[in-house]
A and B are shown apart, each in its own frame.
Chain A
Amino acid sequence: MSGPGGNETRAIGGIRPAGPGAFLVIIPAYNEQGALAQVVKSVHAHVPGAPVLVIDDCSEDSTLDVARRAGAEVLALPHHLGLGGCVQAGYKLAYELGFEYVIRVDGDGQHDARDIPRILDRLKTSGCEMVIGSRFAEANGPRTGAARSLGIRFFRMVLRPILGKPVHDPTSGFVGVNRRALDLFSRSFPLEYPEIEALVVLQRKRFRFEEVPCRMRPRMAGRSSITALKSLYYIVHVLLGVFVNMLRFEGRRRLPPKEE
């Protein structure tokens, strides 16, 4: 089956090396056997022909088999690396295979695959390096729990002066990147809680991001990796990561696009 940009989907022999315009959907997954099959099928249904790569972060359940049975390609990590290491492995493979765009969808079913074309379209037309699928980009966005909402507001406030523009949903994992960001993230990507720090990594390079409104659903199965007890650690860790990335800031001059 021929995919966007001439990709082969679910081809024997894995995902084929791609060229300009090709895009890949990656799904980092850790113990997501309950929702993953539905997520993969939903991507195939709404983005026909798109190659789907599940990165299995050494799950203890049958995530790996579920992903294969659902028709996804699987990159199986030899041991648990955490979300950042897992996503970065997918970015590295996508970069090596020559993909121009990569869209990350979470494996818990919270992201709606119908929004993938919108993110891809914005990536292609805006020329910015990253597009975030945002729950809150529209005024009547969904409500989240009080603690999470407070956390998101706090990080919006922290990031506003650093990024020089507001970001409505800094913790969203529904993210599309182009090849310049892929190149950067293949070499430097936050390893534990990557979403917020990745924005600062982009800012270091004077790369741009935009947000597009997206639908967000409750997770279909499993539990969030960020429990109540881990919230405080999360805030301290992310703040430290943001601060460290600011110290690495590489100047105000925007880097020229890299030759491919």
Chain B
Amino acid sequence: MDRLLNVTTGLSALLLVIVLISVRRAHIRPEYSITWLLAAAAMLVLSRVRPLLEVLRRLTGLPDTPLTLFLMGAGVFLIMMFRLSVILSHLRDDNIALAQRVAILEYHVKSQREI
């Protein structure tokens, strides 16, 4: 159990560092890094504060603590993926609307030039 918690702590810390470096290098925009940072922080806290993990285990009725940790991690990342899907969908809609607008404006500009 301790080893599992230590591995989770290590992975969470690694994720935190990678995300921070990515933001610094402008590979991820700060507004999209927040979810990753929160997820990594949540996993870090859960892996270090065992009483909290125990409370969550009792609340969820799960049989053991490792399973609780695994499910919490899966839940956090599922929420993140959902949020990213929402963001992607908005971006795609905006992108399509922009491409259509660019094409229509180019058409008008070209038409004006021909007159």
Contact = CB atoms under 8 A, between A and B. Distances in A.
A76 interface: yes
A258 interface: no
A14 B100 contact: no
A12 B112 CA distance: 9
B115 A12 contact: yes
Nearest to B108: A14
A81 B114 CA distance: 27
Interface string B100-115: 1011101110111011
Given A13-B115, A14-B107, A14-B114, 4 more contacts: A14-B111, A75-B107, A78-B102, A81-B96
A89 interface: yes
15 contacts: A12-B115, A13-B111, A14-B107, A14-B110, A14-B114, A73-B107, A75-B103, A76-B106, A76-B107, A77-B103, A81-B100, A85-B96, A89-B100, A92-B100, A92-B104
Interface of B: 96, 99-100, 102-104, 106-108, 110-112, 114-115
Contact of A85 (B100, B107, B110): B100
Interface in A57-108: 73, 75-79, 81, 85, 88-89, 92-93, 96
A13 B114 contact: yes
Interface of B is mostly: helix
A191 interface: yes
Closest 4 CB pairs of A and B: A14-B111, A13-B115, A89-B100, A13-B114
B114 A12 contact: yes
Interface residues of A, number: 19
B104 to A, nearest CB: 5
Contacts of B114: 12-14
Interface in A122-150: none
B29 to A, nearest CB: 21
Nearest to A88: B100
B92 to A, nearest CB: 8
B111 A76 contact: no
Nearest to A84: B96
Given A12-B114, A12-B115, A76 B100 contact: no
Contacts of B104: 75, 89, 92-93, 96
B15 to A, nearest CB: 33
Interface centre among A15, A78, A96 (most CB of B within 10 A): A78
A93 B107 CA distance: 9
B34 to A, nearest CB: 29
A93 B110 CA distance: 14
